[in-house]
Amino acid sequence: MGWSRNVLAAGVSALGAAMLLSTVSWAQSDQEKLGRIVDERAAANEDAAAVQKEIDKLSDETGDLLEQYRTALKQIDAITVYNQQMRSLIASQEAEMTSLGDQVDRVEIVGRSVTPLMLRMIAALEQFVQLDVPFLLEERTKRVVDLNKTMQRADVSTAEKFRQIMEAYQIENEFGRTIEAYRGTLTVGSRDVTVDFLRFGRIALVYQSLDESQTGVWNKEEKRWDELDSDYRTAIRQGLRIARKQAAPDLIRLPLPAADRGEG
């Protein structure tokens, strides 16, 4: 009996030890599994964080790309409007160039027809100066010479040539409505004398030497200078002062030719 109890106690003890070892073994296995699970979870969390970071990065890049896309669309719209405007402008410029081309052709035609007219106007002006009262003869002759030279220049437009001719005509026209005094040289007898010329429009051209010893008038009929007596000396002196704005305008006595009364 005693042996049996010892055997039973030993068996119980062995069973308990076995159960304890089994429990310890299971605990260690679960702990290892739990550790692996925790490690896997931590790794998964790290991977998830990395993935989320990558997603955030891609989201930011997508946002930037979207903004760039919208900006590009706005630029495309602006360029489209600009191109439409440029097409309209180019079309307008092409039409204007065509119009200018037509105008140039017409100007050339007009130029060919106007040129003979301008040459005739210059020739008439030259003849007029030669036949007119001989005041400022050098200046007026030079103006005609310059007009003839201008007509030979290819770098001067037809319009400018015509303008200069009309300006010369205007100057000649003004001479008929003004009074003028100027100094020059006149051949009196056999010697050159410095004199003061006095022009009353184209009505009369007189001169007086600086010492007032000689006075004369241009004879338009005979195309010559006629001497005047001393009666005109004071009147011409006063006329010179009026022309030079040294005296107020006043009536003066002029040596005018007598009007032709005719016969009968």
Residue type, 258: A
- Cα gap 186→204, rounded to integer Å: 16
Nearest Cα to 125, choosing from 157, 156, 164?
Answer: 164
Q: What is the pLDDT of residue 246?
A: 93
Q: What is the pLDDT of residue 20?
A: 55
Return the beta strands (E) in the chain as ranges: 179-188, 191-200, 204-209, 215-219, 224-227
Q: What is the pLDDT of residue 35?
A: 72
Q: What is the pLDDT of residue 26?
A: 55
Which residue numbers in the chain have pLDDT < 50? 3, 259-264
Q: What is the pLDDT of residue 145?
A: 97
| pTM for the whole structure | 0.56
Beta bridge partners, 227, equal 216
> How would you classify the pairing of strands 191-200 and 204-209?
antiparallel
Residue type, 152: Q
Helices (H), 152-213: 158-175
- Cα gap 227→217, rounded to integer Å: 6
Q: What is the pLDDT of residue 107?
A: 62
Q: What is the pLDDT of residue 263?
A: 42
Q: What tokens does 130 get?
A: 């030669």
